[in-house]
Amino acid sequence: MKAYQTITAFACLAVSSLPANEVRLAASDLLAAVLAPPLESYAAERELAVKLESIGSLPAMQKMAANEFDLVIIAVPTEQPLPQEGYRVYPFAYSAAFVAVNLSNPLDEISVSRLAGIFGANEELNVTTWGDLGLTGRGSRSIKALADQNDESIALELFKHTAFKGGKLKASVERTSRATIESILAQNAAAIAILSRKPDDPMIKLLSVAEAEDLPAFGPSDDNVHYGDYLFRLSFYLVLPDTDTMGVADVALELLGDPMATVLADAGLIPLPKAVRQQLQMDLNLSRSELEK
């Protein structure tokens, strides 16, 4: 998806006392602003220069091939292949789109096709009332569809790419801020929304999503997102060359640590499950041990 490859900004984090001790890092523009503060602190503590550039995934890989970066974090849609020969690739984090309703809504799960019918124009289904979803007691009550308008998130585009065939929102879908949507959801049992992050309000619940009517539905837990059971996700990967250095491995270990996982979660992203991160850290530590020999 082209929307995942836009170039936005540049940030340089450096400690001038040891300019030669440098790690050159590129990160997807969807992540770079989140990573910059913790990496700055990490660099300062270790008297290490870490240069972080915000760049699209394709140019990041091209520059890594030209030895302009030591480590990159790229966004990879599900249908695209991962880098192969000459690289070591580790999952890093996920961006997701969330489907939310009022806590009193009896609906707990929904299929992709029905979501497309609620939100999408030119789809096979056209769902306009809660009765169309088979909810008893709601009859012809109209569905109020909302979509999070967040310029810093690709959640809505991710949802559309995964769910729609026509690729276009209905004109009736109200696009507004996440704060406004959460306020509406908490009070309006007829509302349903696509959000860019999990809500904090206890009066709002997230729906599980099924790929098809006859398949099981999965909620957006860290495990379900990581293993691909929850569909509305975009994956980010750490990519290191096979010939990485100890400094690069150390930065990769920091990126996979508990503090960074907390930073990602606070920013509305989904970190890897803790057990998965620990396994990847073991692999990186083995790699660092080989470098020390």
Q: Are 253 and 144 part of one and the same domain?
A: no
CATH of the domain at 276: 3.40.190.10
Which stretch of DSSP H or E encloses residue 32? helix 32-45
Q: Are 103 and 66 part of one and the same domain?
A: no
Task: Specify the pLDDT at position 173.
Answer: 96
Beta bridge partners of 30: none
Q: Using the 3D structure, point to which of 181, 196, 226 is the last residue of a domain.
A: 226
Q: Are 219 and 121 part of one and the same domain?
A: yes
DSSP annotation string for 150-185: -TT--HHHHHHHHH-SS-EE-TTPEEE-HHHHHHHH
11-36 pLDDT, tens per residue?
A: 333 333 334 478 999 999 889 999 99
Q: Are 168 and 179 part of one and the same domain?
A: yes
Q: Are 119 and 86 part of one and the same domain?
A: no
Q: Are 130 and 62 part of one and the same domain?
A: no
Q: Are 88 and 174 part of one and the same domain?
A: no
Q: Using the 3D structure, point to which of 206, 226, 246 is the last residue of a domain.
A: 226
Task: Specify the pLDDT at position 11.
Answer: 35
| Residue 83 DSSP one-character state | P
Q: Average pLDDT by consecutive 10-residue portion of the chain (293 residues)?
A: 31 36 90 94 89 93 93 89 88 97 95 96 93 79 92 87 89 95 96 95 97 96 96 95 79 95 96 96 80 57
- Report the candidate in 184, 224, 197 with the shortest Cα–Cα distance to residue 102: 184
Distance CA 41, CA 57 (A): 25
Task: Specify the pLDDT at position 153.
Answer: 81
Domain count, the chain: 2
Assign 274 to helix, strand or coil. Answer: helix
Which residue shows structure tokens 């809505």? 156
Task: Specify the pLDDT at position 244.
Answer: 66
Q: Are 78 and 106 part of one and the same domain?
A: no
- 51 lies in which domain range? 2-95+233-292
Q: Are 56 and 139 part of one and the same domain?
A: no
Cα 11 to its chain centre, rounded Å, is: 21
Distance CA 156, CA 279 (A): 32
Distances (CA, A) of 149 to 101, 136, 174, 195, 257: 17, 31, 9, 9, 31
Q: Are 34 and 102 part of one and the same domain?
A: no
